[in-house]
Amino acid sequence: MAIFVPYLLLSTFLYQSSFCALETHFESDLAQELLISAKDPKFFDWVKRVRRQVHQYPELGFEEHRTSQLIRDELDSLGVQYKWPVAKTGVVASIGSGDQPFFALRADMDALPLQELVDWEYKSMIDGKMHACGHDSHVAMLLGAAKLLQARRERLKGTVKLVFQPGEEGYAGAYHLLKDGGLDNVNAIFGLHVMPSLPTGTIASRPGPMLAGTGMFSAAIKGKGGHASSPHLGRDPIVAASLTIASLQQIVSRETDPLEARVVTVGYIEGGQAANVIPETVKFGGTFRSLTSEGLSYLQERIKEVIEMQAAVHQCSAIVDFMEEKQMPHPVMVNDEAVYEHVKRVGKTLVGEPNFQLFPVIMGGEDFSFYSQRMPAAMFVIGTKNETLKSDQPLHSPYFFIDEEALPIGASFHAAVAMSYLDSYAAEF
């Protein structure tokens, strides 16, 4: 027995090592096969055309009617079945056997209320609206994945769900898509976002918490208006609001452990129209962020208390609105470790290990976090930075631009992750 047990352990180790090596070899061959297909000139021209069409006609959250129609037209041409509408304008397509396991790939569709300042042939045709967060490229990459997967549908050991999601930019579209039953019985989900701070072809992510949970608030402090020459006859809401905003910063600086990440930001303030008049009301608002759900709850509670109490100190009243129905708070984005490791392994075989980076935790928010609450999920980013093309401007900038060389990489990455996931987990169902 003293000899048999180590031998058994060694045999098990060798078997597992051999299986992992075979799995990695399979994933590497698959990833390279898909990448070669995606870089075919005809395929590349098609995916660029799709992206440019979406870019020229940007639509805001839950208004993506033209974008949704384009997606459905392309899916029809590929012979891919889909469900529509989901969450008003969303589309959820299916490729594969129709049986378990179900693996989902997600692309958001909506644009931003921003005037594009990039002067190029395919710039936005709609004044005041722009794809400044790369959702046009997300749609194109996922449609590219649909084309790659449909051509290999007989090899799929399960079903891939392609999620074209509306309303990511502050509208919690992911929440509404889940509420509509768009992803019932899905075993795991993968999302990919362009990142202009990383060189084209680089991918990055991290296990565990990756993006902050976020919430928004607005406040109105009401006093008593009057003339600037007689402030004692009024109740000045500008003074009350000014000191309230300063006090809000102390929630983080004096009530939060310095080793815990939390942010409170006031982004706007409105009050008064004349230099010699004290207004009756001042309005302001902003966001709060944390890497824990407990932190979010604490910030929300204290923001309300500070605003109401500071208003009362100055003999004013206050109303605080957290806009939970219109702009729902987003939970913390947490990458499932098992899905993360799977996607990371596939990504390295696709772009090479030197082109994988560990992404830092940042305090931005993403409604992909709603999926991560419901099922194992992983979000990765793909670099689009090319200084020659000036595609190094930040997300949400009117000068945002992408290097389209990232499109075939993203399309093949989506497809490789889904196919290899189904292959790895099919035996469990």
Q: What is the pLDDT of residues 22-52, one digit of tens each?
A: 556 667 899 999 999 999 999 999 999 999 9
Strands 203-205 and 262-270: unpaired
- Measure the CA–CA gap between 305 and 294, rounded to whole angstroms: 17
- Measure the CA–CA gap between 396 and 271, rounded to whole angstroms: 27
312-315 — which CB contacts under 8 Å span 24+ positions?
Answer: 313/240, 313/243, 314/223, 314/235, 314/236, 314/237, 314/239, 314/240, 314/243, 315/223, 315/235
Query: Please, which residues have CB within 8 angstroms of residue 373's CB and are 6 or more apart in sequence?
Result: 331
Q: Are 409 and 35 in contact (CB under 8 A)?
A: yes
The parts of the chain modelled with pLDDT lower than 50 are 1-5, 8, 10-19
The reported pLDDT for the residue numbered 24 is 63
Tokens for 208, please give them.
């565990």
Say if residue 169 carries a ligand binding annotation: yes
- Does the global pTM surpass 0.95? no
Residue 196 sits at φ, ψ, to 5 deg, of -75, -5
The reported pLDDT for the residue numbered 428 is 76
The reported pLDDT for the residue numbered 325 is 78
- Measure the CA–CA gap between 4 and 358, rounded to whole angstroms: 42
Q: Are 378 and 339 in contact (CB under 8 A)?
A: yes
Say if residue 133 carries a ligand binding annotation: yes
Tokens for 34, please give them.
């898909």
End-to-end CA distance of the chain: 36
Tokens for 146, please give them.
């649909």
